[in-house]
């Protein structure tokens, strides 16, 4: 029985848990690999060999954080598919992650830098909407998912069976990325993240407004705002936002952006310009991405403009790397500014445990730095979430676009998603599954096998006149030839010719006894009138030799010598007219209507 099997791995809803095993037409595929390594109640690796792994959702650690572990420590040797931006950005974040885990948290048995490099050698990068042949049966295609630079939704296809995995996506465009989009590909199954399925998202405008308000209030009172960022994605968006509003509000407060960031970001953005939305693309073609009127680059080699001195009063804003405050420039600046309650640090994203970022977001106000120095954090700490995820409305939109036969929701709590399940089932009339992590869902599929019809056969049928309609289907006779994984429907004659067989005709004859005292010619006449009146849709004829035909069925009346009161009707037909022949026979067995005397 052909089927699709899906097992989401991992446990709970923590960050670092996206990993889904799909078995489609005998091929095993792993989607995302964000499992936390060293986790004690891991589900054991899949049975059977993996045909391929696709890391769809972008460079976020909860979707690729365990890739090096899986490929270098568990020993997966096959191809790993991801988009070009993900391929470029992944190793940087994995290395950061590794450094934090080993240096800050002292984790043993973690993957090494070399392992990250070796893992990336197995990566095959794909373009959007490019059909990639993994082997002679399995193909994959990436669709734009929005969310972050390089995020994609993947379609896995074997023959006519397909599964679409969304990863993280969003349906509303923002300042630097478009919205997810998929065509009406009608997969057997759509697997969608449902972490945010039971939420209704606050609008982008309001989040931006909150950010602007916090920055504005801080600089107005002479405070400084530190925004630790990665080189890519969020940083550009926030810069564009600040630039736009600084212009509108005619503000003179300086904004700085570290050059290290600028160089890296520029490089990546030039490479991946096709991944941003239309508006940005137009802007960047015309100018350097960081040529802002109000935002200036600074170089750490120069004297820090905010070195403690009386002339540096007054607010300003600084964007600096790295994003989790775990090292480098952003941490340096943080240490300088932390002691003043007029200042503010805005964390625009998730911080891995062990980093200073994570500590202050957990509410810690006293931090132990190197040399047992204690840093008191008096500055305001703001945690803002800008990453775009699909909420309930977004999920409904995507299901409406792709038109799957079934939907599977991962990473939600079943008790809290019964309403969404009903909503999806009612609106789209599809089955909705919500497996727990570790649970396998089996979907029976009915694969369609395409067959060709020979032109000759088709022409012959068309020539018979009336085209078939839904209410009156017409029977088509043909022979199905299966040869070399090919299905063809041809006419019987052609099939016989190809097979080198002689044609035989089968003809059935049935005797129906009737009580009738008249001569057989009159009996035949009665039969003719009777059938003519009943079978209005068929061609009923009375031939000169006394026989009656209904289409190609022949009815002859005979008088057996034994009993002159009985007449025998010989009804004969070829096997093609079986249905009509049987019908006529039973009709005639009921007898003829009484003739008027």
CB of 179 to another protein, least distance (A): 13
CB of 245 to another protein, least distance (A): 7
Identify the residue among 116, 265, 361, 540 touching another protein (CB under 8 A): 361
User: CA–CA distance from 493 to each of 114, 138, 328 (Å)?
Assistant: 67, 38, 82
CB of 170 to another protein, least distance (A): 13
Contact, 340 vs 314, CB < 8 A? no
Identify the residue among 249, 304, 369, 462 touching another protein (CB under 8 A): 249
Q: Which stretch binds another protein (CB under 8 A): 258-266, 297-305, 361-369, 513-521?
A: 361-369
Query: Is the torsion defined by CA of 406, 410, 415, 419 positive or negative?
Result: negative
Decide: is 282 part of the binding site for another protein (CB under 8 A).
no
Q: Which of residues 519-548 bind another protein (CB under 8 A)?
A: none
Decide: is 518 part of the binding site for another protein (CB under 8 A).
no
What is d(CA 273, CA 178) in angstroms, rounded to the nearest whole number? 12
How many residues interact with another protein (rule CB under 8 A)?
A: 42
Decide: is 366 part of the binding site for another protein (CB under 8 A).
no
Q: Which stretch binds another protein (CB under 8 A): 113-121, 212-220, 517-525, 532-540?
A: 212-220
**DSSP letter at 392?**
H
Burial track 31-67 (b if 16+ CB lie within 10 A, e otherwise): bbbbbbbeeeebbeebeeebbbbbbbbbbbbbbbbbb
Establish whether 193 is a catalytic residue. Answer: yes
For 359, list phi and psi in degrees, rounded to 5: -65, -50
Decide: is 401 part of the binding site for another protein (CB under 8 A).
no
Identify the residue among 415, 429, 536, 590 touching another protein (CB under 8 A): 415
CB nearer another protein, residue 375 or residue 381: 381
Residue 256, helix vs strand vs coil: strand
Q: Which of residues 426-455 bind another protein (CB under 8 A)?
A: 426
CB of 381 to another protein, least distance (A): 6
What is d(CA 466, CA 483) in angstroms, rounded to the nearest whole number? 32
Decide: is 341 part of the binding site for another protein (CB under 8 A).
no
CB of 220 to another protein, least distance (A): 11
What is d(CA 516, CA 506) in angstroms, rounded to the nearest whole number? 31
What phi-psi label fits residue 372: left (phi over 0), alpha (psi between -120 and 50 degrees) or beta? Answer: left
**Given 193, 208, 237, 382, which residue is catalytic?**
193
Decide: is 385 part of the binding site for another protein (CB under 8 A).
yes
Identify the residue among 363, 371, 473, 596 touching another protein (CB under 8 A): 363
Identify the residue among 216, 224, 488, 526 touching another protein (CB under 8 A): 216
Contact, 116 vs 68, CB < 8 A? yes
User: CA–CA distance from 367 to each of 335, 393, 536 (Å)?
Assistant: 10, 41, 96
The pair of structure tokens assigned to 547 is 């026989």
Q: Specify the DSSP element, H or E, that contains 492.
A: helix 492-499
Decide: is 13 part of the binding site for another protein (CB under 8 A).
no
CB of 61 to another protein, least distance (A): 18
CB nearer another protein, residue 381 or residue 587: 381
Decide: is 381 part of the binding site for another protein (CB under 8 A).
yes
Identify the residue among 109, 203, 313, 561 touching another protein (CB under 8 A): 203
Decide: is 380 part of the binding site for another protein (CB under 8 A).
yes
Contact, 64 vs 98, CB < 8 A? no
CB of 308 to another protein, least distance (A): 25
CB of 172 to another protein, least distance (A): 9
CB nearer another protein, residue 248 or residue 293: 248
Query: Is the torsion defined by CA of 468, 474, 477, 483 positive or negative?
Result: positive
Strand arrangement, sheet containing 132-133: 132-133, 138-144, 152-158, 161-165, 189-193, 406-410, 431-433
Question: Which residues of this chain interact with another protein, rule CB under 8 A?
Answer: 196, 198-203, 205-210, 212-213, 216, 244-245, 248-249, 361-363, 380-385, 391-393, 396, 415-420, 422-423, 426
- Return the active site residues: 193
């Amino acid at each position: 029985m052909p089927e699709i099997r899906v097992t989401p791995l991992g446990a709970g809803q923590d960050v670092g848990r996206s990993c889904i095993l799909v078995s489609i037409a005998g091929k095993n595929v792993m989607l995302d690999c964000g499992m936390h390594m060293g986790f004690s109640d891991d589900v054991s690796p899949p049975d059977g060999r993996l045909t391929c792994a696709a890391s769809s959702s972008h460079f976020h650690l909860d979707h690729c954080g365990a890739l090096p572990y899986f490929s270098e420590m568990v020993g997966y040797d096959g191809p790993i598919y991801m988009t070009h931006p993900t391929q470029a950005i992944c190793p940087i974040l994995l290395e950061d992650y590794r450094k934090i885990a080993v240096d800050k948290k002292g984790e043993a048995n973690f993957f090494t830098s070399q392992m990250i490099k070796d893992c990336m050698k197995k990566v095959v990068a794909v373009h959007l909407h490019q059909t990639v042949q993994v082997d002679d049966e399995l193909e994959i295609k990436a669709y734009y998912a929005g969310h972050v630079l390089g995020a994609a939704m993947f379609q896995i296809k074997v023959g006519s069976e397909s599964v679409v995995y969304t990863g993280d996506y969003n349906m509303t465009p923002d300042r630097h990325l478009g919205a997810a989009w998929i065509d009406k590909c009608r997969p057997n199954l759509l697997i969608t993240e449902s972490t945010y399925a039971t939420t209704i998202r606050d609008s982008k405008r309001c989040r931006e407004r909150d950010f602007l308000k916090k920055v504005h209030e801080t600089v107005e009172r002479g405070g400084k705002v530190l925004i630790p960022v990665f080189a890519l994605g969020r940083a550009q968006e926030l810069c564009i936002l600040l630039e736009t509003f600084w212009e509108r509000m005619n503000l003179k407060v300086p904004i700085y952006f570290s050059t290290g960031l600028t160089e890296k970001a520029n490089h990546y953005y030039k490479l991946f310009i096709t991944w941003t939305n239309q508006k940005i693309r137009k802007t960047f073609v015309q100018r350097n991405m960081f040529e802002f009127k109000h935002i200036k680059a600074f170089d750490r080699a120069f004297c820090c403009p905010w070195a403690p001195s009386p002339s540096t009063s007054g607010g300003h804003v600084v964007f600096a790397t790295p994003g989790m405050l775990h090292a480098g420039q952003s941490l340096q600046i943080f240490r300088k500014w932390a002691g003043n309650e007029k200042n503010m640090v805005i964390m625009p994203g998730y911080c891995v445990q062990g980093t200073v970022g994570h500590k202050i977001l957990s509410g810690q106000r006293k931090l132990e730095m190197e040399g047992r120095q204690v840093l008191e954090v008096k500055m305001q700490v703001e945690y803002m979430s800008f990453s775009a995820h699909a909420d309930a409305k977004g999920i409904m939109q995507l299901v409406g676009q792709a038109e799957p036969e079934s939907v599977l929701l991962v990473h939600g709590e079943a008790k809290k998603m019964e309403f969404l399940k009903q909503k999806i089932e009612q609106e789209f009339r599809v089955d909705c599954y919500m497996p727990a992590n570790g649970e396998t869902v089996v979907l029976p599929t009915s694969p369609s096998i395409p067959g060709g019809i020979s032109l000759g056969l088709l022409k012959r049928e068309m020539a018979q006149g009336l085209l078939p309609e839904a209410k009156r289907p017409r029977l088509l006779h043909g022979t199905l030839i299966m040869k070399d994984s090919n299905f063809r429907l041809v006419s019987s004659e052609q099939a016989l010719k190809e097979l080198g067989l002689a044609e035989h005709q089968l003809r059935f004859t049935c005797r129906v006894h009737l009580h009738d005292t008249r001569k057989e010619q009159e009996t035949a006449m009665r039969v003719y009138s009777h059938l003519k009146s009943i079978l209005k849709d068929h061609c009923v004829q009375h031939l000169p030799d006394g026989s009656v035909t209904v289409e190609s069925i022949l009815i002859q009346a005979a008088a057996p010598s034994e009993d002159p009161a009985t007449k025998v009707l010989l009804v004969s037909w070829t096997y093609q007219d079986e249905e009509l022949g049987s019908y006529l026979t039973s009709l005639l067995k009921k007898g003829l209507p009484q003739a008027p005397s």
